[in-house]
Each structure stands twice: as C-alpha cells, then as structure tokens.
Amino acid sequence: MEYVTAVPHPRTDAAADSAGSAKGGRRSLAVALFFGAVGAAVALLASRQEWCSGVAAVAGGKLPLTAKGSDVTGVPAALAIVGLAALVAVFAVRRAGRILVAALLALSGAGAVAAAVLGAGDSAALDEKAAEASGDAATTIDALTHTAWPYVAAAGGALILIAGILAVIYGAAWPSMGGRYERSGAPRTPRAKPVDPDRPEDLWKALDRGEDPTGTA
C-alpha cells in the first residue's frame, strides 16, 4: 500500500502569510493610534495641573505658592502636540518619509518623558514666583513639595514613544491617505464616458483613444 503525502500548495501558504501580515498591521495600527492619542491627551492634561508647591517669606509672613506644569516646563505639552501631528502625518507619507515621521513621533515621546522627569524636582518656577512676591531676587521657596502629575505627564510621553516605535516597525504595512485611489499599487484608470454618436467631438475623442465609436468588434 502506498501512502501519498499531502504537500501544502505554495499559493495557500503565501495567502496565509499575507493575511497574517495584514492582520498584524491592523492590530499595530489600532494600538499605535490609541496609544498616541491617549498619550498626547494625558501629557497635555498633566501639564495644566499643579506640579509643586511651597511657602515664601514675604514681609514677615508666609505666602503659599504653587506652580503648574506649564510654569515648570512647556516641553512635554509642546512635544505632545508635535507627536500628535506626527501621528497624523504618518498616513500622509510613504516609504522613507513614513520612517522619518515615525522616528519623529518616537523622539517626541522620549523627549516628553525626559522633560517631565527632569521637571519633577525643579523648583526654579516657584523660586521665581517667590522673588516676584517679595521683591527680592534672593528669596527662595521653603517647604517645597511635589505632586505626581509630572510622572503622569511622563507616562503620557511613554505612550507616544510606544506609538512611534510601532510606527517604525510596522508602519510600512499601514494604509495611506491616498490608498483609496489606488488598486494593486497603480493609479486607477478613469472610466471612459459613453460615446454619443450624435456628437462628432465624442467620436473623434474615441478614435484618439483607439476605441471603436460604433461599439462593434
């Protein structure tokens, strides 16, 4: 008795690989969009919250002062906006341009993380407010305390960074804004208008295109 071993058809394997690649591309696209949008929103929100507080000695008394994230550093919010713009621009470019924009997205997230972490222990903004309130440039803040908002901003930057990394790795498989105008990688040929036999100009145009204006073979 002879046994026949079934050999997988090459086309079937190629189709399966293509389907798996497309599915992975869609997943990475969804995750990158979600992480990028949420990360930018979190970084912007955290930059508007109170990052630190303290007390300044003014005219023999104590003046409580607070500083928002935007007072400490405007870098996380600015890079969040840049990252959000880069996330949208990824779909407007292709090939090398897409890689560059994806890298900009990742760098925006990394920069936002670094700026937020560095700003978590910064007291320069409160010292400046204390000097203005007392009228003495040598006045500094006392009883300095910090909130968790700088680290929330850093978490938002980390989400943007992850979105950028996904765009660098999987961005080549993502669709582009002009994709709906294409088919099989080539420009879609416009459909010719029906020829009106009563209009001589339509007959001449059909002849110029190499068509039979009479509609006969």
Residue-wise pLDDT tens digits, 77-108: 999 999 999 999 988 888 888 999 999 999 99
Joined tokens for residue 111: 């920069």
Whether CATH 3.40.720 fits 24-175: no
- Distances in whole angstroms, Cα of residue 216 to Cα of each of 3, 211, 212: 56, 10, 7
Main-chain dihedrals φ then ψ at residue 120, nearest 5 degrees: -65, -30
Whole-number pLDDT of residue 57: 80
d(CA 163, CA 88): 12
Say if CB 178 and CB 195 are below 8 A apart: no
Per-residue pLDDT at 49: 96
Of 88, 80, 87, residue with least CA distance to 45:
80
- Listed in order, strand segments (DSSP E) in the chain are 50-58, 61-68, 142-146, 182-183, 186-187
Per-residue model confidence (pLDDT) at position 103 = 95
What pLDDT score was predicted for residue 163?
96
Give the pLDDT confidence score for residue 15 in this predicted structure.
46
- pLDDT of res. 147: 93
Question: Phi and psi for 32 in degrees, rounded to 5?
Answer: -65, -45
The amino acid that residue 20 corresponds to is G
User: Residues of the chain whose pLDDT is less than 70?
Assistant: 1-25, 177-204, 206-217
Per-domain residue ranges of the chain: 24-175
pLDDT of the residue at 206: 65
